Each structure stands twice: as C-alpha cells, then as structure tokens.
C-alpha cells in the first residue's frame, strides 16, 4: 500500500530478516539493500538454521575463495593431475551456459548442492555474468579467476569427456581407489541414465572425495535433491517450508549490478510505482514462427478476464461517467514480441473498463529473438524478470524459466498460461500455480534403492508433477 512504499529502505528490514549479511559496501551494489524498498515482505520467514548456515558458508567461502591458500593448492592439484591432499577446501564450479532464466535457476541449484555437500561455489563468469550479478558473499569473490587451469576445457566438457561422471560410471572407473582431481557433472536436459545417478546417495559417496566438481546444467534440479535420503534432514532444517527454496536462495544470491538496477529503478519509478495495483504478464511463445499469434492474445485476455486479474472493457460505451477518482492498474508485459502488448494497450485506451478502473499497459523491450551473447540484451532480460517479480499479480507462460525466476524472486504463485497445442488457445486458458517454486524439466525417474524406474512425482507429498509440464517435478 501507499504508506508502505513511501518508507525509506533503511526504515524497512533491508537485511530481509537476517537472510542478507550486513557490512557490504552499499554503493558497489545498490540493489542488495534497496530491493526492500520495492518488494513486499519475504514470503515467509527464513529459518534460523538457514541463516546460520549461510553465515557459516560465507566464512568458508572467504577461506576457500580465489587465491586463498586452499584455492592455490587445489589449482596446483588440477595442474599436476595428482590428487594428494584431501584436507583442502572442495569446490563446485558452475559453468555458464544457456538462457538467463536457466542460468539463474541452475546457479541456485548449484549453490544449494554446495551447501549440502560443504563445498564452495565458484561461478564461471562467461561473457556477461559480471555485468549482471553482484558478489553475494562478503569480502571475497564467487567468480572463477581467468587463470583457473580448466577454463580452456569448459567448452569441450561433454558426455564424451573422460572426466564425465556418467562416463566414469559406465566404464566402472569411478571407484574409491581412483579419485581424480576433478569430475565433470553433466546435468543437462540430454543427460543419460548414468549421468542421472548423480541423484543417488550411493554415488554421492564417490563424489565427496573429489576436490573439484565441474558442473554444466540447464535445469532447476533442486526437487530431486529433496528425494535423496542423505540430504533429507538437512533440507528439512534449512527449509521447513519447502516452497521457499528458490525464493530465499534467489533473494540471497541474486543482486542486479548497478547498471541493471538502473534499468529496474527507472522503469519502476516511471511506470509502476504510483498505481493501485501492478499486474505482470510474461509471454514466452515456443514456436519457430515469431508471431504475434491471435490465439496467444485470446488466451491472455481469456485468462486475465476469467480470473479477474484485469477488468473487461465495454465496447458499447465511450465513457463512464463517474465523479470518483478511478483506481489505477499498471500491466507490465514482457515478451520478445511487441504484438500482444500493443493490442492489450490499445484495448484499454480505446474502451472504458466495466469497473471504471484505468489500466496502463507497458512493455520495456521487444528484442525480437533470443540473443544470449549480447550484453545489453541480457541486462534487459534480467531487469525484466526482476520487474515482473515486483508485481502484485503475475501471469506466466508454461515451460519458461524466465517466468519461474520472476515468480520465485517475487514469492508469487502465478497464473500459468497453458501451453497452446496446434495454435489454438487452450480452455481453460490458465491455472493458478500450486507453489512459487520453479519446475525441474528433466528429472530422473529412478528408484536408487530398488534400482528400477519409478514415478518420482509420487514418492513424497512435497515433490509433485508441475502444472505446466506433466513429467516435470516441483516442490510444493
């Protein structure tokens, strides 16, 4: 409400109930403490155990981070290929790949895995990670230095690599006697049954001893970690409310850099700050043809009208005579295409709403197509995910990690637009999400104990099949 948003950030809980560490230089990353100005409160309270675990992790990261004694020792081992000293810190290295939404989800997944296994997370800066994200841990860096000895191999890591975990298992060379200095984990959508054994407790024993785990992933694999008995207790203590995993980890880890924060800030102040309600609509169309499509527009309008997220318009009347000051809504649309936004905006300009509300419709960019390697493109994509997360009511598209990031950061249960089949608007057009968690699109369906296939969406009440992808898994 209005009184709330007028407060200065320092009057609010800028450390998010202890989730964020104090003591960072505020100017180097304005978003870290200013985000509390725009967000509503966290959705739920982080557990005191999560908070203490994060503080412990920060100490560990500082001790093990780039160019510390331990890091240097590990680099030495990687250079020589000889693994001798098991007393040093252990690492999981996140390798940058895929669209930004996917990257954000895998970063959070890799960080949780690092917490669970007492490893330190190092982030391959790729081409633009440094431009997008601030340092999350105090007095150290999470970015992998440019002289890390394996950097040149990142592109070549694949299921065919000798160090690939699945391949090691296939060749039965992953035995305790042959601990190597690093292992490559292939947790991409195309991973095979051997790679998937990563999610079995038994196989984790071998990985425990490996100093460096190099990880490529394009999936939010957290739900499957919740199915591993060895992590069960710890996860329960960290996240008594399971649907808050990405919400808390995302808000802890992911702070837009000052340039991205500028994009967020200016847009929010100009178009979103002064209205009674903000509605986010994220449109992602997975079609070879760029569109716009009539059936997608129909679906957006059907969903927002049916679920009463936006008022209908009166085509018969030119104006509604009322002496009251109308309620205002701002609709923030995001899409690679500007077609949907133009139609919705025009509709609310050309006709009055049946409720008398006034609706402004805004779309920050229309980049046309995915341009993963372009700097400003991804800065805008990040700013748009963030802006969507600041809305009060959110509509997202099926299958899109871009939407998952927005809902998770915002702590929002979105209305998900069903994926259209045969270019027709589905009926019903959308449904409310069960939880704010992202969906794991490529989970294993394997019972590690029984060593046979099983429906992993049917084992525990808190891991369910997703609303938008029947074979996916999500925490609820």
Phi, psi of 367 (to 5 degrees): -80, -5
Residue 206's alpha-carbon distances to 30, 67, 191, 433, 443, in angstroms, are 42, 27, 19, 38, 21
Stretch that binds ligand GDP, among 5-13, 219-227, 310-318, 367-375 (CB under 6 A): 367-375
Residue 106 sits in the site that holds ligand GDP (CB under 6 A): no
Q: How far is the CB of 378 from ligand GDP (least distance, A)?
A: 6
Bridge partners, 360 (sequence order): 330
Single out the residue of 128, 135, 195, 384 in contact with ligand GDP (rule: CB under 6 A): 384
Dump strand ranges (E) for 139-211: 182-187
Residue 334 sits in the site that holds ligand GDP (CB under 6 A): yes
Tokens 């510390």 belong to which residue? Answer: 68
Give residues 285-314 in contact with ligand GDP (rule: CB under 6 A): none
Number of residues that bind ligand GDP (CB under 6 A): 21
Stretch that binds ligand GDP, among 61-69, 74-82, 96-104, 270-278 (CB under 6 A): 96-104
Instruction: Choose between 212 and 436: whose C-beta lies nearer to ligand GDP.
Output: 436
Instruction: Choose between 16 and 390: whose C-beta lies nearer to ligand GDP.
Output: 390
Taking CB atoms, the residue at the shortest distance from ligand GDP is: 99
H helix runs in 331-420, sequence order:
339-350, 375-389, 401-410
Single out the residue of 367, 437, 467, 468 in contact with ligand GDP (rule: CB under 6 A): 367
Residue 335's alpha-carbon distances to 184, 268, 287, 423, in angstroms, are 35, 17, 13, 18
Site map (CB under 6 A) of ligand GDP, residues 396-435, x = contact:
----xxx---------------------------------
Dump strand ranges (E) for 370-472: 393-397, 415-417, 430-432, 446-447, 452-453, 463-465
Dump strand ranges (E) for 218-264: none
Dump strand ranges (E) for 224-310: 277-282
Instruction: Choose between 70 and 334: whose C-beta lies nearer to ligand GDP.
Output: 334
Q: How far is the CB of 390 from ligand GDP (least distance, A)?
A: 15
Instruction: Choose between 181 and 400: whose C-beta lies nearer to ligand GDP.
Output: 400
> How far apart are the C-alpha atoms of 18 and 39, rounded to whole Å?
16
Q: How far is the CB of 383 from ligand GDP (least distance, A)?
A: 8
> How far apart are the C-alpha atoms of 206 and 208, rounded to whole Å?
5
DSSP assigned state of 268? I
Residue 12 sits in the site that holds ligand GDP (CB under 6 A): no
Stretch that binds ligand GDP, among 221-229, 298-306, 362-370, 450-458 (CB under 6 A): 362-370
Binding residues for ligand GDP, rule: CB under 6 A, are 98-102, 284, 334-336, 365, 367, 370, 372, 377-378, 380-381, 384, 400-402
């Amino acid at each position: 409400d209005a009184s709330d948003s007028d407060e200065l950030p320092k009057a609010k809980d800028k450390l998010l109930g202890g989730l964020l560490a104090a003591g960072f230089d505020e100017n180097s990353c304005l978003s870290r403490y200013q985000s509390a100005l725009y967000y509503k409160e966290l959705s739920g309270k982080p557990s005191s155990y999560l908070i203490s675990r994060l503080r412990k992790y920060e100490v560990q990261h500082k001790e093990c981070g780039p160019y510390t004694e331990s890091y240097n020792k590990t680099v030495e081992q990687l250079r020589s290929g000889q693994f001798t000293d098991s007393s040093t810190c252990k690492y999981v290295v996140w390798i940058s790949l895929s669209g930004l939404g996917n990257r954000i989800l895998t970063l959070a997944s890799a960080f949780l895995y690092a917490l669970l296994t007492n490893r330190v997370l190092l982030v391959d800066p790729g081409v633009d990670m440094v431009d997008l994200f601030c340092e999350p841990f105090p007095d150290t860096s999470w970015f992998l230095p440019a002289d890390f000895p394996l950097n040149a191999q990142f592109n070549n890591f694949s299921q065919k690599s000798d160090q690939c975990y699945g391949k090691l298992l296939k060749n039965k060379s992953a035995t305790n006697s042959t601990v190597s200095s690093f292992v490559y984990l292939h947790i991409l959508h195309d991973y095979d049954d051997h790679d998937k054994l990563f999610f079995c407790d038994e196989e984790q024993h071998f990985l425990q001893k490996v100093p460096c785990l190099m990880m490529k992933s394009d999936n939010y694999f957290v739900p499957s970690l919740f199915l591993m008995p060895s992590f069960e207790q710890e996860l329960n203590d960290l996240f008594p409310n399971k649907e808050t995993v990405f919400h808390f980890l995302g808000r802890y880890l992911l702070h837009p850099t000052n340039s991205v924060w500028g994009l967020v800030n200016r847009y929010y102040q100009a178009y979103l700050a002064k209205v009674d309600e903000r509605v986010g609509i994220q449109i992602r169309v997975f079609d070879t043809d760029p569109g716009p499509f009539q059936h997608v527009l129909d679906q957006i309008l059907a969903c927002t009208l049916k679920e009463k997220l936006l008022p209908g318009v009166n085509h018969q009347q030119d104006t509604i005579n009322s002496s009251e000051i109308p309620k205002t809504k701002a609709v923030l649309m995001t899409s690679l295409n500007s077609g949907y936004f133009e139609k919705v905006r025009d509709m609310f300009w050309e006709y009055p709403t049946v409720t008398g509300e006034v609706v402004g419709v805004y779309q920050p960019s229309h980049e046309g197509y995915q341009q993963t390697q372009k700097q400003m493109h991804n800065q805008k994509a990040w700013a748009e995910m963030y802006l969507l997360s600041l809305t009060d009511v959110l509509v997202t598209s099926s299958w899109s990690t871009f939407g998952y990031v927005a809902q998770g950061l915002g702590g929002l249960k979105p209305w998900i637009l069903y994926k259209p089949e045969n270019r027709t608007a589905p009926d019903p057009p959308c449904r409310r999400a069960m939880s704010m968690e992202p969906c794991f699109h490529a989970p294993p369906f394997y019972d590690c104990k029984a060593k046979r296939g099983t429906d992993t969406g049917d084992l525990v009440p808190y891991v369910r099949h997703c609303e938008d992808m029947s074979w996916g898994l999500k925490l609820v």
